């Protein structure tokens, strides 16, 4: 009986995780990405989502032989924009992706008598792809991830899956 309840609760909880993405690609951009530098900016409370997101992204890129490096902006970072630009130029990517969290939703869950736990469980991300040393956007996406019941690892995995599917559909991968 316990085993059945565990299976049912796993199915219910995992079915509550969702990710959706919409995108637009510049008509004159028809290159495949082989080397990408990813910059990300988001709420401090979303760091666990980002960690899972980049672990899943690294798995995919390694399987597909896409080289990538990333940098997550930190509000206490001592690196200047010039130093970050130098890192990008040294890596010499085909494109630069900027992931910027634009919205978040926080759920508060009771953890026991008098204790609560709150975490960001839903976020919207504006994703732009630029050519290096250019401000021209060649691809843009809007990703929404929802990790009901604090299942951030599954939300990160599903978000990467949706992002990769969309990049393939748009001819970038």
Q: 95, exposed or middle or buried, with CB in 10 Å at 0-12, 13-18, 19+?
A: buried
**Residue predicted with more confidence, 92 or 133:** 92
| SS3 state of residue 115 | strand
Domains, the chain, ranges and CATH?
17-169 (3.40.50)
Cβ atoms of 12 and 44 within 8 Å: the answer is no
Question: Is the model's pLDDT at 8 over the cut of 80?
Answer: no
Q: What is the pLDDT of residues 18-55, one digit of tens each?
A: 788 999 999 999 999 999 999 998 777 677 777 888 88
Question: Is the model's pLDDT at 172 over the cut of 80?
Answer: yes
Percentage of residues of the chain with pLDDT beyond 90: 46
Question: Is the model's pLDDT at 112 over the cut of 80?
Answer: no
Question: Is the model's pLDDT at 115 over the cut of 50?
Answer: no
| Concatenated DSSP letters of 40-73 | EE--GGGHHHHHHHHHHHHHHHHHTT-EEEEEE-
């Amino acid at each position: 009986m316990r085993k059945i309840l565990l299976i049912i609760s796993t199915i219910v909880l995992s079915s509550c995780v969702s990710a959706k993405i919409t995108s637009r690609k510049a008509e004159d951009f028809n290159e495949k990405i082989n080397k990408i530098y990813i910059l990300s900016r988001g709420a401090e409370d979303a760091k666990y989502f980002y960690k899972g997101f980049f672990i899943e992204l690294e798995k995919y890129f390694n399987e597909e032989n896409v080289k990538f490096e990333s940098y997550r902006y930190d509000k206490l970072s001592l690196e200047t924009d010039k130093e970050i630009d130098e890192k990008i130029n040294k890596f010499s990517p085909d494109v630069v992706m900027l992931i910027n969290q634009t919205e978040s939703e926080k759920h508060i869950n009771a953890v026991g008598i008098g204790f609560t736990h709150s975490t960001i469980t839903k976020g919207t991300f504006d994703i732009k792809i630029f050519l290096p040393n250019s401000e021209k956007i060649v691809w843009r996406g809007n990703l929404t991830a929802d990790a009901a019941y604090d299942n951030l690892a599954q939300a990160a995995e599903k978000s990467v899956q949706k992002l990769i599917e969309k990049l393939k559909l748009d001819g970038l991968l």
